[in-house]
């Protein structure tokens, strides 16, 4: 189930990949999705045809409707970064736009996902849910074996890697900034694991009803109310972490060297070029 979700989200990931890789993935997404779905459920020929047709339909919609929105936001971000250093509120605005793109994509994917779900057997559904649960268990086992220092180090490395991908190597002062904010951020892994467990518990009986006339409405309702499965502490922690990350980017933004600023702008422009090639 998780890998199926990842595959459907491959479109959204396009804007953060290298140009050549992105173009290949985007233009061959039909068989790539099939390749990954096969790890979770063995589809028969009819189900495979439905999957391919759905992915092709989604690709056409995404290419003609959503990519131009990504480009518009990236062009605006480049202009903002050229004009000034963005503060926390401005970075939060950038995050908000990214989340809206994800919501739009989810809404676009849902009808096609429902078509495929309705074609799956009880055995296939049970197999996917079991694999999802097993993957969560394995990730939880790995997480609980790490000590506190190890968890913080992993968080710092992830943040550093994501930032350096866009601006190049951090200076020692900038690394200190990253480390400082990493220490203030709260791990939400355990609570996210509990959230996914609650979500699976709600999905299981719902998927039993997948042949009913009310299934689509109930499925959409669940997707639009995912926060109801999250604990209040998870919602608060994620919001606080988002604020801290925005503050981190604002502080780093003000510390960029000429070389780093140039690399950041060139990276963003390369995403725009990639999107242009995909829309063409």
pLDDT over 70 at 20, yes or no: no
Which residue has better confidence, 16 or 214?
A: 214
The CA-atom distances, in angstroms, between 177 and each of 93, 153, 172, 230, 231 are 22, 14, 9, 30, 30
Quote the pLDDT of residue 51.
84
Q: Span 218-234, mean pLDDT?
A: 94
Q: pLDDT digits over 98-120, tens only?
A: 999 888 888 888 898 899 899 99
Position 67 confidence tier, pLDDT thresholds 50, 70, 90: very high
Are 268 and 16 contacting, i.e. CB atoms less than 8 angstroms apart?
Answer: no
Which residue has better confidence, 39 or 31?
A: 39
Position 4 confidence tier, pLDDT thresholds 50, 70, 90: very low
Q: pLDDT digits over 127-172, tens only?
A: 889 988 999 999 999 999 999 999 999 999 999 999 999 999 999 9
Burial 169-205 (b: 16+ CB within 10 A, else e): ebeeebeebbeebbeebebbeebbebbbeebbeebee
Residue carrying structure tokens 């600023």? 261
Residue carrying structure tokens 């725009």? 272
Quote the pLDDT of residue 138.
96
Task: Tell me how far apart the alpha carbons of residues 273 and 277 are, in angstroms, rounded to a whole number.
Answer: 6
Position 11 confidence tier, pLDDT thresholds 50, 70, 90: very low
The model's pTM: 0.86
Quote the pLDDT of residue 228.
96
pLDDT over 60 at 24, yes or no: no
Quote the pLDDT of residue 19.
42
Q: Span 54-63, mean pLDDT?
A: 88
Quote the pLDDT of residue 30.
52
Q: Span 26-43, mean pLDDT?
A: 59
Q: Span 15-33, mean pLDDT?
A: 48
Break the chain into its structural domains and give their ranges.
2-279
């Amino acid at each position: 189930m998780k890998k199926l979700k990842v595959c459907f989200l491959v479109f959204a990931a396009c804007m953060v990949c290298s140009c050549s890789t992105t173009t290949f993935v985007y233009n061959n997404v039909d068989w790539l999705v099939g390749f990954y779905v096969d790890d979770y459920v063995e589809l028969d020929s009819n189900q495979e045809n439905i999957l391919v047709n759905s992915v092709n339909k989604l690709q056409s919609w995404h290419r003609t409707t959503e990519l131009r929105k990504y480009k518009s936001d990236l062009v605006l971000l480049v202009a903002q970064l050229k004009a000034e250093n963005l503060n926390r509120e401005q970075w939060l605005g950038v995050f908000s736009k990214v989340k809206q793109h994800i919501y739009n994509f989810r809404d676009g994917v849902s009808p096609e996902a429902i078509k495929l779900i309705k074609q799956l057997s009880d055995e296939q559904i049970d197999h996917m849910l079991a694999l999802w649960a097993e993957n969560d268990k394995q990730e939880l086992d790995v997480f609980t074996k790490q000590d506190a220092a190890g968890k913080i180090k992993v968080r710092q490395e992830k943040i550093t890697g994501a930032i350096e991908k866009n601006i190049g190597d951090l200076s020692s002062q900038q690394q200190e900034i990253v480390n400082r904010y990493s220490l203030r951020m709260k791990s939400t892994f355990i609570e996210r694991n509990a959230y996914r467990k609650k979500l699976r518990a709600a999905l299981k009986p719902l998927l039993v009803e997948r042949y009913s006339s009310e299934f689509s409405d109930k499925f959409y309702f669940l997707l639009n109310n995912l926060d109801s499965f999250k604990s209040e502490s998870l919602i608060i922690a994620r919001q606080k972490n988002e604020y801290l990350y925005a503050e981190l980017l604002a502080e780093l933004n003000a510390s960029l060297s000429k070389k780093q600023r140039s690399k950041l702008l060139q990276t963003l422009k390369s995403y725009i070029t990639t999107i242009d090639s995909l829309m063409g």
